[in-house]
Structures are given as structure tokens and as C-alpha cells.
Amino acid sequence: MTTHRIGDITITRIEEQMGPGFPANGLLPDWDPAILAEHGGWLAPNYYQPESGRFVSSIHSWVIKTKHHTILVDTCCGNGKNRPGSDRFHMLNTPYLQRLAAAGVQSEDVDYVLCTHLHVDHVGWNTQLLDGRWVPTFPNARYVMSKTERDHWDPSLNPSLKAGQAEIFTDSVLPVIAAGQAMVVAMTDQIGDGLLIAPAPGHAPGHIMLRLLAGGQEGIFIGDVMHHPIQVYRPEWSSAFDYDPRQAEKSRRAMLAHCADGNVHVFPAHFGRPHTGFVRRQGDGFRFEFIEANK
């Protein structure tokens, strides 16, 4: 567990799983192993596993504690979810809720769940199985999601979805809507003092980020605008899972520029350890300055 601070607000990482993930060229189709000559020294072993050619990837949530609210950003994969396409997501049994409790947060304490987007590894703990039904895991929370994203993944509104995509919505999003706990917002909105929603489409149609402003500082929760820190150096490398790769690149470059120019603390969803840092300008491009937790 690692905790950071933005002003008087704490941000704690809640891990679901971490380890070797996709092959490098499976996640980033433009991957060129020649980049290891320049970056291999810091990529291995925390972000790239040379012996397997796989990226090291984390799946985690961020808990934001303000004076008034507890906010959970993205909810990983969840337990007992039928995801036959990937062993990393399928029928998991992890102590995620126990780790959340160890951070001082019970399910009932969460006021908001911010879904940067509605992919499989960002909505799983939205719900849990209780008496044979999927019900909201966080009974007192408003689940914040963009309308564009909600509408795209709703099989009743988008009949072109594949069965597996529809199942993710059915077991991890629809129960939240049925319980009246969904807070559907525009791509730009505000959910509290100093908590601003910013659009970042491309990886998913309605992908959003959360900007946290406190004490003259800013932190930004970027979801899957970047999957891996090498994209700081190669922002043109879009993910194989991006809905619109060119739009994803545009959103990524805008985010990098904003963070570099504003000294913004970046909180990614999948970076290995250390998991956060700052974007700095380097010539015509950018570099990433990793930082350890301060608590």
C-alpha cells in the first residue's frame, strides 16, 4: 500500500494484482525492441521483463480522501466475473476488499466511485455477487461515468457489442444503474470542490480523467490515456485496445503537455512500481520522473 498527498488530501493505491502482463508488441503494436538500447536500464525489471518480452503491469485503484468525501477511482477486475478471454481477468478471487479495509476504508465509506471508462479491468469491483445477484459493492456511493461511455457499452443502445463486452456491462454497470446509484455526467463536469472531470477520448469513446486541485497543487488520474511509461517517450504508440488510436494519441499528447507545464502529479492505472510521478519536458518531447510514496 502506498500513499501520496496533494495539499491536505491523501491518495492511496489499492492493488488488485501486479506482474507480467501483455507481450510488449501485443499491448503496443508499434513496439520496437531497439528502444531498449536507450531505455532498457530503467524499463527492467519494474516495467519490462526482458526474459519474456512482457510488460510488467499493475491493476489497482486509487482512494482519494478529502475532508468531506472518500472517492475510489476505477475498481479493477472484481471477483468471480466470467471473463473467459483472459486468465488475468477470469473468475478471480483476490483480497481486494481486505486491502481496501487495511487502508481504512470500508465499502460503506465510499461516497463516489469514478469510472474513467467501462473496460473490464476498471469496473469489476463496482459489483459483487450476493445471494446469486450482482449488487453494488459500495452501497452509499454514487458511481460517476460519462454519458458517452455509458451509452456506448449499453447493449440495449449498441446492439453491435460482442457478447463478452455486453456481459461486462450487464454484471458490473447495469446493477449500479438499476440501484439508482449511477451519476451520469458530461465529458466535462465537477463532482466536488477541486474535483474536475476532464475529457480524454480515444482509448474508449467516453474516457474521462479526474483532476484533483488542492493547496495550489494538482494531481490527475489518467485511467488508460497511457498504459505504460514508455508512452511518455513515444506518445505516438497507441495501445492495441484503443478504440480510436489517433484520437488516443491526441488525448495523450494534450495530457502530457498539461502535466509537464503545470507540474502535475500523475496517477496512472497500470504503471509498475513506483506507480506515479511527473512529466517533464525533454527537448521536443517528454520524460517521466518517477517518485516514491511519501508515507
Contacts of 85 (CB under 8 A, 6+ apart): 164
- Cα 168 to Cα 93, 154, 175, 242, distances in angstroms: 17, 10, 11, 17
Let me know: does 182 contact 147? Beta carbons within 8 Å. no
Query: pLDDT at residue 293 above 90?
Result: no
Closest by CA to 134, choosing from 181, 172, 78, is 172
| Higher pLDDT pick, 85 / 74 | 74
- Dihedral angle over CA of 113, 115, 121, 123, nearest 10: 60
Residues 237-265: tens digit of each pLDDT: 999 999 999 999 999 999 999 999 999 99
**Banded pLDDT at 120 (limits 50, 70, 90):** very high
Residues 55-73: tens digit of each pLDDT: 999 999 999 999 999 999 9
Contacts of 25 (CB under 8 A, 6+ apart): 31, 53
The residue ranges of every structural domain in the chain are 2-291
**CATH value of 2-291 in 2.60.40.10, 1.10.3720.10, 2.40.40.20, 3.60.15.10:** 3.60.15.10
pTM: 0.97
Residues 184-229: tens digit of each pLDDT: 999 999 998 899 999 999 999 999 999 999 999 999 999 999 999 9
Pairing type for strands 48-49 and 9-23 reads unpaired
Return d(Cα 281, Cα 295) in angstroms, integer.
Answer: 27
Checking phi first, is residue 278 left (phi over 0); if not, alpha (psi -120 to 50) or beta?
A: beta
- Cα 190 to Cα 145, 174, 204, distances in angstroms: 12, 23, 20
